[in-house]
Amino acid sequence: MQDTAKIRNIGTSRAAQTSGEFSLNSFLRVIRRRKWIIIGALCLFIAAAAITTLRTPKQYQAISSIMIDKQSTDSLNLGDEAGSQMGGDSMDYNITLKSQLQILTSDTLGLRVIKKMHLAPHLLGKLYDPKIDPATDDQLRVIMLGTFHSRLKVKPLAGSRIVDVSYMDPNRRLATEIVNTSVQEFISNNFERKYEATQQASQWLGQQIQGLKDQINDSDQTLAKLQHKAGFFSETDRGNIELARLEQLNNELLLAQSNRIAHQAILETARRGNITVADQMDAGLAASTGTPASSGMEAESGGQGSQQAATTSSSSDGAAQAHQGSINSGEGSILQQLEGHKAGLQLQIAQAAATYGRGYPHVQELQRELAESDKLIAEQSQQVMQRLQAEYATSQRTENQIRNAFEAQRKQVTALNDIVLQYGFAKRDAEASNTLYTDLDSKLREAGVLAGLRSTNVSVIDPARPPVTPVVPNPKINMALGVFAGMFFGIFTAFTLEHLDRTLRTIDEAEHIVGAKILAVVPNLDNVRNRDHKNEIVQPASISLKVPGSIQAEAFTTLRTAILLSSVDHPPKVIMITSSLPGEGKSVVSINFAITLAKRGARVLLAETDLRRPSLERYLDLPNNGGLASALLGADTNTLVQPISEELPGLSVLTAGQASLNAPELLASMRMRELMDEWREKYDYVVLDTPPLLAVSDAAIVAHLADASLLVVRFSKTTRQALSRAATTFSNNHARFLGVVVNDIAQGREEYHEYYGYSSYDNYYVKTDADA
């Protein structure tokens, strides 16, 4: 008894140890055991992927490639070659690129494309109502733009200035037209924005040039009158010093006037609200004159010094260059960058508000950032405006000072020859004004042409063409996803069922749980055919008798050998066969085991001690003659035992007889002990078919009368918990627990072959012609 408990404890600890282990073999075993679930899930998901692929409408994606260059910093394209180059560092370009991408996906551009191509019915579908303008209806506009933007994709190519613009639609030609139209509208919008700012500055300067033209006409008329009045005067008579001084002051006045006109143009541009353009023009003026743009305070403090420097270093040609430089701009001012950043924020707010609403936290955060950007722009604009006003005031004072000096000098020369002075002044004024007018008029005409040619930095590299194959559905990806999802779901389901399955999953598991050896593994007994009798199906209870050469009969022979060799000198005579719960096949095992014992020539009694639910009469087709119930009540057992076959005269069967509710009392009675003593003397072996061990207490009572106890478990039905409780019951009742019989395992199962260590030996037991 102690050995049995010790063996059980060792087996239990081993079971606890191995239950927590996980190996590749156990993983593969689960996969093979649940392979049909995995295959079913795989087939289901593959079928779902195929159906989805077939039922999904085809979507075509048209792609157009455009290139976005750096923006030009010369507003009117009037500067020199260096000023017309594309400027800005990588950070400036990144900001420009992000801004352009935001414009590409903006609602404004989307509405332009939708309106131009009449896409509202296509995008809204059943929601479209010809009586309602979707552009004015908030709900329809959001739905329409949402559908449009979900199909329009903008993707910059890393390491280049190329941007791919794509659109996906069931109509491949419509997708192509939408992409090309979107690109063209984007280019047009970009052109319009830049061209409008350029034209505003050009218009004001054109007005100034017209005034200069009128001044030239007046000068020509005055010159003609003076020449007519002083017909004797010629250019060779201007040799006195006062006249030369007057000529010098005239040139300086022209330069100061040109500088004042340029600053006035810049200031007027700023007052019209184009402070950014004015800032660029001021930077261009500073670059053309070779002096940095100064602040208002610097202009106030250095007025006279600037006048003197201008007096000594400029000429009439310099005055013309001053007007050209006044419309040049710097390399991307702070104000310009702030304006670009503000435009990007406004686009983000418009998109976020259209998607989530004005109350969305991210929209409010963007609005606060926009307010801060407006504050910085206002501060910077105020500083620029103050500087431009100061520079204009300085240039105006300089002009007035030179003009006063010129007037004073002219009064002195007038005393000598008023007519000559007037003629020379008028002639030179007319020549200078005419030269300035001709140069500015030529440059302004050139600017109008270049503004149309160079006002956009976007060019089409590859226009969209109708795609040949759809991008949706993608059969390869769908089938791959179906296979992956099917495998994942199948394996997940298999391991979930394996985890929830509390039945025996391997043969060794039964040995580990009870801590005793496996005496025999009995294959499934259903549909066993007798090849010697027209291949008829043999009942499970008579397989060892009618099909002795089968693998099933050999399993009971193995059981007989294991029991008899368990104690060579004193093999057990009284053997109890039970199970943990009903339906595990203990009665069929008891019958076939008794048959194998009788086939050795021994005298064997098969006694059914299940007085609650007798079954031997049904399995062996025997009459109810009272059986053990009558014997326990005093009847002679010699009249109650029955043979089952003439082929086995040594095998007798004592059925349970009439079912009784007081079975525990009868089995624990003195009469039962007397019968056991009688059977021990009369028979070589007594096989006791008892009730289930856990269902009732009858088996525990009978176990004390037996020399050895066997526990029958049904593979994939007996739970591990029931098996563990059965082993505990044996240990608590100090019964001699000999081992386990694993019953009803399919021959094709991997666990069956793994237990024996090879794939199959079925054919070994098949009778061949050579054996005959």
Asked if residue 203 belongs to a domain, the reply is no
Query: In this predicted structure, what is the pLDDT of residue 201?
Result: 66
Residues 550 and 638 in one domain: yes
Query: In this predicted structure, what is the pLDDT of residue 313?
Result: 36
Question: What gap in Å lies between CA 474 and CA 58, rounded to an integer?
Answer: 9
Residues 600 and 661 in one domain: yes
**Distance (Å) of CA 342 to CA 72, 194, 372:** 19, 16, 10
Question: What gap in Å lies between CA 632 and CA 676, rounded to an integer?
Answer: 11
Which of 617, 590, 615, 619 is CA-nearest to residue 605?
590
Q: Higher model confidence: residue 621 or residue 449?
A: 621
Q: What is the dihedral of CA 223, 227, 233, 236, to 10 degrees?
A: 40
Q: Indicate the SS3 state at residue 86.
A: strand
Q: What is the dihedral of CA 61, 188, 85, 448, to 10 degrees?
A: 160
Residues 485 and 633 in one domain: no
Query: In this predicted structure, what is the pLDDT of residue 757?
Result: 57
Query: In this predicted structure, what is the pLDDT of residue 423?
Result: 65
Asked if residue 276 belongs to a domain, the reply is no
Residues 483 and 591 in one domain: no
Q: What are phi and psi of 342, to 5 degrees?
A: -65, -40
Mean pLDDT of 520-539: 78
Lowest mean pLDDT among 64-78, 369-383, 702-716: 64-78
In this model, does residue 3 exceed pLDDT 60?
A: no
Q: What is the pLDDT of residues 33-56, one digit of tens each?
A: 788 889 999 999 999 999 998 998
Question: What gap in Å lies between CA 25 and CA 43, rounded to an integer?
Answer: 25
Q: What is the pLDDT of residues 595-634, one digit of tens each?
A: 999 998 899 999 999 888 888 888 888 888 888 989 888 8
Q: Predicted confidence band at 29 (pLDDT cuts at 50, 70, 90)? A: confident
Residues 481 and 530 in one domain: no
Asked if residue 422 belongs to a domain, the reply is no
Contacts of 424 (CB under 8 A, 6+ apart): 235, 238, 243, 246, 247
Query: In this predicted structure, what is the pLDDT of residue 146?
Result: 94
Report whether 486 contacts 43 (CB < 8 A).
Answer: yes
Residues 733 and 613 in one domain: yes
Report whether 695 contacts 581 (CB < 8 A).
Answer: yes
Asked if residue 691 belongs to a domain, the reply is yes
Mean pLDDT of 140-157: 93
Query: In this predicted structure, what is the pLDDT of residue 164?
Result: 94
Mean pLDDT of 13-37: 65
Q: Predicted confidence band at 118 (pLDDT cuts at 50, 70, 90)? A: very high
In this model, does residue 574 exceed pLDDT 90?
A: yes
Instruction: Compute how many other C-beta atoms are within 10 angstroms of the C-beta atom of residue 531.
Output: 12
Asked if residue 99 belongs to a domain, the reply is no
Residues 496 and 639 in one domain: no
How many structural domains comprise the chain? Answer: 2
Query: In this predicted structure, what is the pLDDT of residue 229?
Result: 61
Query: In this predicted structure, what is the pLDDT of residue 756?
Result: 60
Mean pLDDT of 639-668: 87
In this model, does residue 4 exceed pLDDT 70?
A: no
Which of 394, 369, 161 is CA-nearest to residue 298?
394
The answer to whether the predicted template modeling score (pTM) of the entire model surpasses 0.75 is no
Q: Write the single-letter amino acid at 443.
A: K
In this model, does residue 178 exceed pLDDT 90?
A: yes
Asked if residue 64 belongs to a domain, the reply is no
Residue range(s) defining the domain that contains residue 31: 24-56+473-500
Residues 582 and 659 in one domain: yes
In this model, does residue 747 exceed pLDDT 80?
A: no
Q: What is the pLDDT of residues 353-391, one digit of tens each?
A: 888 877 888 888 888 888 888 888 888 888 888 888 898
Q: Which range, 18-22, 477-481, 720-724, has the best average confidence (pLDDT)?
A: 477-481
Query: In this predicted structure, what is the pLDDT of residue 444?
Result: 65
Residues 488 and 604 in one domain: no
Residues 539 and 587 in one domain: yes
Q: Predicted confidence band at 689 (pLDDT cuts at 50, 70, 90)? A: very high
In this model, does residue 416 exceed pLDDT 60?
A: no
Q: Higher model confidence: residue 195 or residue 103?
A: 103
In this model, does residue 666 exceed pLDDT 60?
A: yes
Q: What CATH number corresponds to the domain at position 533?
A: 3.40.50.300
Query: In this predicted structure, what is the pLDDT of residue 770?
Result: 40
Mean pLDDT of 166-176: 93
Phi-psi region of 648 (alpha: psi -120 to 50; beta: other; left: phi over 0): beta
Lowest mean pLDDT among 75-89, 303-317, 658-672: 303-317
Give the percent of the chain with pLDDT over 70.
78
Averaged pLDDT of the chain: 78
Q: Predicted confidence band at 332 (pLDDT cuts at 50, 70, 90)? A: low
Q: What is the pLDDT of residues 228-255, one digit of tens each?
A: 665 444 544 444 576 778 788 888 888 8
Q: What is the pLDDT of residues 272-303, one digit of tens each?
A: 877 777 777 877 777 777 665 544 434 334 44
Q: Higher model confidence: residue 9 or residue 95?
A: 95
CA triple 69-446-70, angle to 5 deg: 10
Give the percent of the chain with pLDDT over 90.
24
Residues 534 and 645 in one domain: yes
Q: Which range, 216-225, 414-423, 454-463, has the best average confidence (pLDDT)?
A: 454-463
In this model, does residue 749 exceed pLDDT 60?
A: yes
Q: Predicted confidence band at 515 (pLDDT cuts at 50, 70, 90)? A: confident
Residues 529 and 574 in one domain: yes
Query: In this predicted structure, what is the pLDDT of residue 768?
Result: 44
Q: Predicted confidence band at 726 (pLDDT cuts at 50, 70, 90)? A: confident
Q: Predicted confidence band at 687 (pLDDT cuts at 50, 70, 90)? A: very high
